[in-house]
Structure 1
């Protein structure tokens, strides 16, 4: 009887320990990030705009857009983990919700990952192009150096490089890293109100060298044609004392009606010495990043050619430089400046931009 009691107590202790272990392997994290900057915009003489100084949330020329969120993970055993990420954006300059007022407009998905296979995600999430473009430029799609920051061309929004950067209703599958290679696939259902979105990504990284490409497109719900076809290729190499970065982007068959995916803008009209409706762009960027203690310096040059099938085209470029100073691992001061080049430089409201900002995360 004593033996049975001892075994029972030992079993109970083991179960209790297992329960405690399971709880220890599950987590819920509440996080927030706030980023604000003061920017001065000098307008081109033919843009129809005036010079402006404004306080911006980090979504405009900052290190990061302001946000708050909840992240959960649960270890299911056998190499399986479940996760949830709910992330809402807001403008710290006004306090208004971001992403059109969505509760979790930045991201909202559930995931299941395997240490042997890879990861499945379902929900609103970043498209692959955003991460690939982030490999092409200093600071990773930030400050005035961001190739994805659009411009105002004669009063209308115009993209530089395409950068949606999220899509709705996305099912994503991403592999593990095998010998430096990793692949991913995304499909976003149109659900009758938007075009179906597709994206593929292939990346490779070994040591100091990293490269990746993404290809994304919409299947038009009205015609079944493939539109908004976007190819982005990136590469960078870290020499230790500095890193060189670069990439190209090629976009074809651009339309404004897809509503979900690589291009979600509402304007394809280019106004310059000639005015025309463009349906394709070709861009490139090259830059350098230099760490010095708590400082990180960067500079790059980005260019794009807007064109249509008839051969009409106009160019726009941006030369930029910036610096980031780490007050801690989560809090940064930053500053940057850019100046436009090319055919359209006098037709945009952001011919030159200077900025200073502060970002903190908890």
Structure 2
């Protein structure tokens, strides 16, 4: 459980404002292996890999009440490699500031992208590292994070919200890109239904690359005994396809079957997952993903790969 601390200014003779500081993290360790032609298949420890539920990390979040229904937020996260104790590059995760109010949210910095949130709204694994959808289509083809992003998110209106993110041309070039980037989503989540639309497009592309926009439209519906989810994906260029899966909760257990096919590359991924909740914060899990071989020229993968993992995730 997240431990919430109340940070008070310690400068003498000052009546400083009060801010809420939350320290939190994830510890995720698995034993995993890959079985594919030309790949060594011996099992070894995995901490921030495709076999893990999520990356191990720590973070700090500071929220200050500004009054009038407004608040300021700053958040920072850093990956942790639990196999060595090393802290990974800080730019891999959150580093942003935000202003919230009745108008919605304005945010700036390094953050999960609007496209990510559009997919995570309906995806069955919670956008886990082993997700068939994420590994096949990469959150509408754009990855999960943007650096130097300015964004605006609307208030929640009866379950509907939308986010518009923008990376300026200069910031895009300094990120290693070719120009500005537009990244957006529209999400409806109320009752048993969740729908998410993701869209992004770069202002400039490499010579010969597609100038098409990239989008994903998916939905999930909770029938009680099971959850059904499906999507249509169309990233720029030849990549496009669909996904279909189900999640079945049985007491402390949860079972997921998911299929993601890129028809543009004739490449199909499969996921089988079983998770057991040891507590509200700790889950033991097993995952198996079949990373399919592309059967068209210039495909994503040259061989089939079987990827296994068994591990424990602890949120604190």
User: Taking structure 2 as the reference length, what is the TM-score of the superposition?
Assistant: 0.83
Alpha-carbon displacement from aligned partner over 1:195-217 (angstroms, at most 9, x marks no partner)? 21111211112311110101101
| C-alpha contact (below 8 Å) 1:118/1:175 kept by paired residues | yes
Structure 2 CA distance for aligned equivalents of residues 65 and 32 of structure 1: 10
Show the counterpart of 2:11. Answer: none
Contact 1:143 1:336 survives alignment (8 Å): no
1:244-273 deviations in whole A, cap 9, x for unaligned? Answer: 111121011xxxxxxxxxxxxxxxxxxxxx
Supply the RMSD in Å over aligned alpha carbons. Answer: 2.8
2:71 corresponds in structure 1 to 81
- With over 3 angstroms needed to count, the CA separation of the structure-2 counterparts of 1:245 and 1:77, relative to structure 1, is same
CA distance in 1, matches of 2:219, 2:120: 10
Is 1:246 aligned with 2:233? no
SS in 2 for 1:129: helix
Conserved 8 A contact 2:60-2:77 = yes
Equivalent residue for 1:56, pick from 46, 50, 53? 46
Provide, for residues 287-328 of structure 1, a one-character-per-residue CA deviation record: whole Å limited to 9, x for no partner: 11111221111111111134xxxxxxx311112211111111
Q: Could you tell me how far apart the structure 2 residues matched to 1:357 and 1:39 are?
A: 8
Cα distance in 2 for residues equivalent to 1:159 and 1:340: 14
Aligned mate of 1:149, from 135, 141, 144:
135
Residue among 105, 115, 133 paired with 1:129: 115
Indicate yes or no: 2:125 matched with 1:139: yes
* 1:145 and 1:299 in contact (8 A); partners too: no
Question: Counterparts of 1:161 and 1:118 in 2: how far apart (Å)?
Answer: 24
User: How many angstroms apart in 2 are the aligned matches of 1:160 and 1:123?
Assistant: 19
In structure 1, the partner of 2:220 is 236
Matches within 5 A, 1:223-302: 227=211, 229-252=213-236, 279-302=237-260
Unaligned runs of 5+ in 2: 1-14
**In structure 2, distance between residues paired with 1:160 and 1:50:** 28
- Contact 1:59/1:66 (<8 A) preserved: no
**Superposed displacement of residue 161, structure 1:** 6.4
2:59 to 69, 92, 102: 69
**Mapped partners of 1:347, 1:237: distance in 2:** 32
Aligned 1:1-362 pairs, distance under 5 A: 23=18, 26-44=19-37, 48-98=38-88, 101=89, 103-114=90-101, 116-142=102-128, 144-149=130-135, 162-191=141-170, 192-193=173-174, 194=177, 195-220=179-204, 227=211, 229-252=213-236, 279-306=237-264, 314-341=265-292, 343-344=294-295, 348=302, 351-362=305-316
Q: How many Å separate the matches in 1 of 2:31 and 2:213?
A: 35
Provide the secondary structure at the position in 2 that maps to 1:148: helix
On the 8 A contact 2:199/2:213 being kept in 1, the answer is yes
**Count of aligned pairs:** 293
**Does structure 2 retain, via aligned residues, the 8 Å contact 1:161–1:283?**
no
SS of residue paired to 1:133: helix
Q: Which has the larger radius of gyration?
A: 1
Provide the rounded CA distance (Å) in 2 between the counterparts of 1:203 and 1:335.
30
